Amino acid sequence: MTRAALALLSLGTAVFIALIAWQGFGAVAGTLAAAGWGLALVALFHLLPLVIDAGAIRVLATRHTTLTDTVFARWAGESVNSLLPAGQLGGPVLMARHLAQRGMPMPSAAAAVTVSTTMQAVAQIVFACLGLAAFAAVAAVPARLATPGVRMAMLIAGVALGVCVAAFFIAQQRGVFGRVVRAASKVFGKRDGGALAARADTIDEHVRSLYLRPGRVAATFAFSLAGWVVGTGEVWLALRFLGHPVGWLDALLLESVGQAIRGAAFAIPGSLGAQEGGYLLLAPLVGLPPETALALSLAKRARELALGLPGLAYLHWSERRWRQRRAAATGPVDDDGSRPRASIL
């Protein structure tokens, strides 16, 4: 973990603990305990948007992989993003690697994951706008949305997400992978920098070629947006088990804007503290007590643990099994997937 990531993680943890202490550990824990086994159903429900998100990758690689492969890749990627201090970069890297291990060419896998991740971020912005528009259509709500704190949080989250997505898209068009590899080769002086740069350039070409297929890109966006919308059911279901049921529009606001705030804090591992602060900010708009808003955030984190820990275990098992198959076919492999010099000789 880099020093910056460690500092952000420490800051997020401090905010997380402070927010729960502010509302009272006992009150938050009591509200969360009321859900009981309902939290297991919330975790199971998340499998539905997970499969839809996997479909967003699948449409970009129709002839190279199966939906099952993309579902397991998505599961492993989400587990890494949620539970490991790798920001939001570790998940996509491992998704591409997982698909490559299942027979998809690495350039195609990396390009499919890159484009689908971009479209998911665009869909997230659209989803937040839809949530705000639907919620504002209800009488007397616009005045509540004009609360300075809420307005500022929405503005910051929207601008941050928009800038990041735009910058990432422009970087893809200019060959982000090749540029990063060449810069790293200059800094670290890798002897095989030329070969790595050539592979990275191939990935950049595949990314640009995917954007020249608007039908597939639009389908990926549609799947991603559907995944965000379906994910609203997780909030709706969790609040029912927590003893504070809300309507669909209220759940839509909490999920759409809450996820936008979390997405804007992507640099913080797990968006720790940002997600909790977002729900606290939105709670008054839908009539939720503060301790229930924090319990909702903890219910989501419990779901991340319930699905993420098995996901990490699967990732470890899958990686080990792939290495065993590779070793049986070509000899042992190094950490980067290449064969050691002794085996080549």
Q: Please write the tens of the pLDDT for every residue from 171-214.
A: 888 877 877 777 777 766 555 566 777 888 888 899 999 999 99
The percentage of the chain sitting over the pLDDT mark of 90, rounded to a whole number, equals 29
| Position with higher pLDDT, 182 vs 289 | 289
Per-residue pLDDT of 317-342, as tens digits, reads 999 998 888 888 776 555 544 445 44
Question: Cβ neighbours of residue 18 under 8 Å, at least 6 residues apart?
Answer: none
pLDDT reported for residue 342: 41
pLDDT at 26 over 50: yes
Q: Is 320 exposed, middle or buried (0-12, 13-18, 19+ CB in 10 A)?
A: exposed
Average pLDDT, the chain: 81
Q: Per the structure block, which two tokens stand in for 182?
A: 């060449």
pLDDT reported for residue 259: 86
pLDDT at 269 over 80: no
| Position with higher pLDDT, 294 vs 226 | 226
Give Dmax (Cα) for the chain: 76
What is the pLDDT averaged over residues 221-243? 94
pLDDT bracket for residue 146 (50, 70, 90): low
In whole angstroms, give the CA distance from residue 122 to residue 17. 31
pTM for the predicted model, two decimal places: 0.82
Q: Per the structure block, which two tokens stand in for 40?
A: 């297991």
